[in-house]
């Protein structure tokens, strides 16, 4: 049976005859379908997030593995975690078939080699404490399936993301499935479109919600950001001001004392502590700023 990702989209037949505005409307309709499909998987996404949080708390890591667009989106999501949440680069990692060169241009044939996916997992030295998220819109990418089998053999938690009903045999080595069924693509088979949108939405939630649960967000502020450029330094100042109510000059001066850590600066200002004392208080509360500000009065 033909995968839904390879079927013709009746709504886009004759798209080459439509006006630009009409084509844009076709895209809007398709994007709404992708969002609805992801929303329908809310429970599955929430369970996957809990698996990731449990792994992180046990000292484990999160790995994404995919080919083509799926691999690029995994690498993108992983690369955003260190500057946004001050995580180590090892905590969330993206693996793409063909290696880093495949981020810029297609490496033909690599996605068809399950042994390469398994090799990539061995090279990362996965452990039973880790989580591997295999991303394959079509549900059948050999590279991804090879990685999932190897991770399962190691004892790691395995999550499979696809935009079709997955083959039944995958249940033998997949712990959990996330399957937003987005339907046929606007351009037949081009899964960088609706499937890519659904993938990005889900990966956003997997890492961001996990980091919220780990105390890296206070209210809706990224208090654990790594201020590595002028934009992020300015954001850090605004975050410290928003939480403490101090002026920009004091916020900036305290951030300097806190070595750029907004969370540390906030504790220093609200509790009247020096950096060492503030750091010890954060350690006591496992980095949860909410607990300090609400309970340590």
Catalytic residues, by residue number, are 80, 111
The CA distances from residue 66 to 217, 219, 268, 281, 288, in Å, are 28, 33, 43, 40, 33
Edge-to-edge, what's the strand order for the sheet holding 92-96?
92-96, 62-66, 131-135, 157-161, 176-178
Angstrom distance (rounded) from CA 282 to CA 264: 8
Angstrom distance (rounded) from CA 122 to CA 104: 24
Residue among 224, 23, 281, 216 at smallest CA distance from 9:
23
Angstrom distance (rounded) from CA 160 to CA 185: 20
Do residues 240 and 262 lie in contact, with contact meaning Cβ atoms separated by under 8 Å?
A: yes
Angstrom distance (rounded) from CA 81 to CA 207: 8
Tokens (6 digits) for 96:
């793409």
For residue 294, count other CB atoms closer than 10 A to its CB: 9
SS3 assignment for 138-171: CCCCHHHHHHHHHHHHHCCEEEEECCCCCCHHHH
The CA distances from residue 90 to 32, 63, 130, 264, 266, in Å, are 34, 9, 11, 23, 27
Angstrom distance (rounded) from CA 245 to CA 236: 13
Name the phi and psi angles at 214, rounded to 5.
Answer: -95, 5
């Amino acid at each position: 049976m033909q995968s839904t990702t390879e079927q013709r989209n009746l709504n886009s037949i004759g798209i080459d005859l439509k006006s630009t505005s009409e084509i844009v409307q076709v895209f809007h309709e398709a994007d709404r379908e992708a969002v609805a499909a992801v929303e329908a998987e809310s429970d599955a996404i929430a369970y996957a997030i809990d698996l990731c949080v449990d792994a992180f708390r046990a000292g484990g890591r999160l790995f994404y593995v995919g080919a083509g667009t799926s691999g690029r989106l995994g690498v993108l999501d992983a690369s955003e975690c260190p500057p946004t949440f001050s995580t180590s680069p090892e905590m969330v990692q993206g693996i793409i078939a063909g290696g880093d060169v495949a981020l810029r241009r297609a490496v033909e044939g690599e996605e068809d080699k399950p042994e390469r996916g398994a090799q990539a997992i061995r090279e990362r030295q996965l452990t039973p404490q880790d989580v591997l998220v295999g991303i394959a819109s079509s549900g059948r990418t050999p590279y991804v399936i090879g990685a999932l089998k190897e991770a399962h053999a190691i004892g790691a938690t395995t999550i499979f993301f696809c935009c079709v009903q997955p083959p039944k045999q995958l249940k033998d080595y997949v712990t959990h499935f996330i399957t937003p069924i987005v339907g046929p693509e606007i351009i037949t088979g081009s899964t960088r479109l609706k499937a890519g949108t659904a993938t990005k939405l889900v990966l956003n939630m997997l890492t961001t919600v996990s980091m919220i649960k780990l105390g890296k967000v206070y209210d809706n502020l990224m208090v654990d950001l790594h201020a590595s450029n002028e934009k992020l330094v300015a954001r850090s100042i605004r975050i410290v001001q928003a939480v403490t109510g101090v002026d920009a000059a004091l916020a900036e001066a305290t951030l300097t004392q806190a070595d750029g850590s907004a969370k540390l600066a906030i504790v220093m200002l609200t509790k009247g502590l020096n950096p060492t004392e503030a750091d010890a208080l954060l350690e006591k509360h496992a980095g949860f700023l909410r607990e300090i500000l609400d309970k340590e009065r």
